[in-house]
Amino acid sequence: MQKFDFLDIFYRFTTRDFGANLAFHVGDEISAVLANHTFLAKKLGYKKDTLVHMKQIHSNLVHIVDEQDHFDTPPTCDALVTNKKNIPLMVMVADCTPILFYDSTCKAIGVAHAGRAGTFTNIVSNVIETMKNEYGSKVENIFVSIGSAIGVCCYEVGSEIYEESKEKFSYAFEIRDKKYYLSINKILLSQLQECGIKEKNIENEGICTACNTQEYFSYRAEGKTGRFAGILMLK
């Protein structure tokens, strides 16, 4: 789904057929992963070496990207922002949620990797606050695209997670057969709303990666697997 049609950005969520696994830490040969990146860059029309990806650590840390960042120096963080043109930002996922941010007025962008930890510590708010502070963004001008991730149908969590977070996020849990299932998507939408992002400015793909492994990588459904990506660039 690509609801938004902006002239000055390029954005895309990849699937398995976009050059397969993009992550260096999942056991694939480095040369094979590099080849996948080269293929993807060619297919989507950007320069591979200018792309900035992340060493993702399930934090809520945001890194501000400038011309010094490039493909071979991924910062350790879970979100990136920039107002520089022609620097594609990439978030990699397999069940966690990839989120893309675009301020159409200030011409600034951001990407975030929202796993459970990053979501519980409100990484989307950190991205939006950083865009406000760094680029003068106003929330009413920010558009958000939420990519596919594991759904509440498949994302079972332990009772300890339910116990420790039910006060804050009770609305996001489903209990079926005495098992606890969590909707990260519901939390993200709620957090975006709290930040003041307009509903019409949010695109929500909402496909469960674990139910759709023919198209997406799913850590839960497959164990050792690859990563697909959300990519966003200012043109």
**Contact footprint for Zn ion (CB under 5 A):** 151, 153-154, 208, 210-211
C-beta of 151: minimal distance to Zn ion in Å?
A: 4
**Closest CB to Zn ion among residues 154, 157:** 154
C-beta of 155: minimal distance to Zn ion in Å?
A: 8
C-beta of 221: minimal distance to Zn ion in Å?
A: 8
Name the helix (H) or strand (E) containing 135. Answer: helix 123-135
Alpha-carbon gap, residue 156 to 22, rounded angstroms: 26
Residues 6 or more apart from 36 whose CB is under 8 A from it? Answer: 19, 20, 21, 22
**Closest CB to Zn ion among residues 61, 154:** 154
Q: In angstroms, how far apart are the furthest CA atoms of the chain?
A: 52
The C-alpha angle 120, 123, 128, rounded to 5 degrees, equals 140
**Closest CB to Zn ion among residues 129, 174:** 174
C-beta of 225: minimal distance to Zn ion in Å?
A: 15
**Closest CB to Zn ion among residues 62, 208:** 208
